Amino acid sequence: MMSDVEVFQRDGAVVLRGVFTDWIERLREGFEQNLATPSQFAIENVGSGEGGRFFEDYCNWQRIPAFSDFVLNSPAAGIAGQIMQSQQVQVFHDHILVKEPGTSKPTPWHQDLPYYCVNGLQTASYWIPLDPVTKLNTLSLVLGSHLWPKPVRPKSWANNADFYCEANSVTGESVFMDMPDVENGDFNILSPELQPGDAVVFDFRTVHGAAGNQGTGRRRAFSTRFIGDDVRYIARPGRTSPPFPGINLENGDRMREDWFPVVWRKDA
């Protein structure tokens, strides 16, 4: 049987069962505090006339005590370090998402990495449901897509326009590839049913998305993103998401530890 590390390296994603059971109530506490006091990065994704609510927010782990506790004291960073095969782990950011009952708005297929100001192979993103999810409202991932030859062109979720105003290299060759027709193509898609305490951890390059939430219960998910040894800053041709204004780094720089602290070391 393949280990979780081998599955992650091969597929770009692995399901972990029951690893955060003791943390769910703490994360729910933080989630509700975040909803009550959103940050400047909060986004409402459901437009006028659309049903339900699809809300997300970023970069709150340092101001929400429950999230700080999880980042610093849960096994998440250590597991990420082992799965990424990294000597140390920095926290990149956190992300909450809620789809209330009756939300038809999907999360479109995308890769996270092209939206970020980082580049590298040693990355790990957790998707931790705080409510039971079924195949109808879970996270879906295209296994092996972290090995595609080019990153997928990032799009605005609001209108499907190119996320950056400029997406070509100086040679004129496109930096990005277009998203293939995932749902009608020959792709291996993972759509796991999950209970609170379970998690999916995936590479920043792994294509993923999610349906709306047409059920009767909420679908809350908490994400934390971690970066390993080889990750470096990259200047994108526009505002990244999250934007990290004033980061003051150059291409190829290590991510600054005062903003992105080291939260796990292999030799510690």
> Does any domain span residue 107?
yes
**Do the domain assignments include residue 267?**
no
- pTM for the model stands at 0.94
Which is more confident, 167 or 1?
Answer: 1
d(CA 6, CA 232): 24
The pLDDT value recorded for residue 170 is 46
Q: Which helix (H) or strand (E) holds 70?
A: helix 65-73
Q: Pick from 202, 229, 223, 226: which is nearest to 11 by CA?
A: 202
Please check whether residue 266 lies inside any domain of the structure.
no
Is the peptide bond prior to 242 cis by the omega test (within 30 degrees of 0)? yes
* Least confident among 2-6, 114-118, 164-168: 164-168
Q: Is the pLDDT of residue 92 over 80?
A: yes
Asked if 70 and 76 count as a contact pair (C-beta separation under 8 A), the reply is yes
| b/e map 211-232, b = 16+ CB within 10 Å | bbbebeeebbbbbbbbbbbebb
Supply the pLDDT for residue 169. 47
Backbone φ and ψ for 5, nearest 5 degrees, come out as: -65, -45
The confidence score (pLDDT) of residue 173 equals: 58
3-class state of residue 52 by DSSP: coil
Least confident of 46-50, 99-103, 169-173, 223-227: 169-173
Buried b (16+ CB within 10 A) or exposed e, 173-187: eebbeebbeeeeeee
Domain annotation covers residue 74: yes
- The CATH number given to whatever domain includes residue 182 is 2.60.120.620
Residue 42 lies in a domain: yes
Which pLDDT belongs to residue 171?
A: 45
Asked, for residue 268, whether it belongs to a domain, the answer is: no
Predicted confidence (pLDDT) per residue in 217-253, tens digit = 999 999 999 999 999 999 998 889 999 999 999 999 9
- Which residue has 């140390």 as its token pair? 88
Predicted pLDDT at 165: 66
Token pair 């105003």 in the structure block, residue: 165
Indicate whether 254 belongs to any domain.
yes
Q: Quick one: pLDDT at residue 156?
A: 79
Whole-number mean pLDDT of the chain?
93
Say which residue, 173 or 143, is predicted with more confidence: 143
pLDDT tens for 146-199 read: 999 999 999 877 677 788 865 454 444 578 999 999 999 999 999 999 999 999
The domain total for the chain is: 1
CA-to-CA separations, 58 to 55, 133, 229, in angstroms, rounded: 11, 22, 23
∠152-158-160 over CA atoms, to 5°?
Answer: 40
Write down the pLDDT at residue 29. 98
Q: How confident is the model at residue 47 (pLDDT cuts 50, 70, 90)?
A: confident
Average pLDDT, stretch 133-156? 95
Structural domain span for residue 48 = 4-260
CA distance 91 to 256: 11
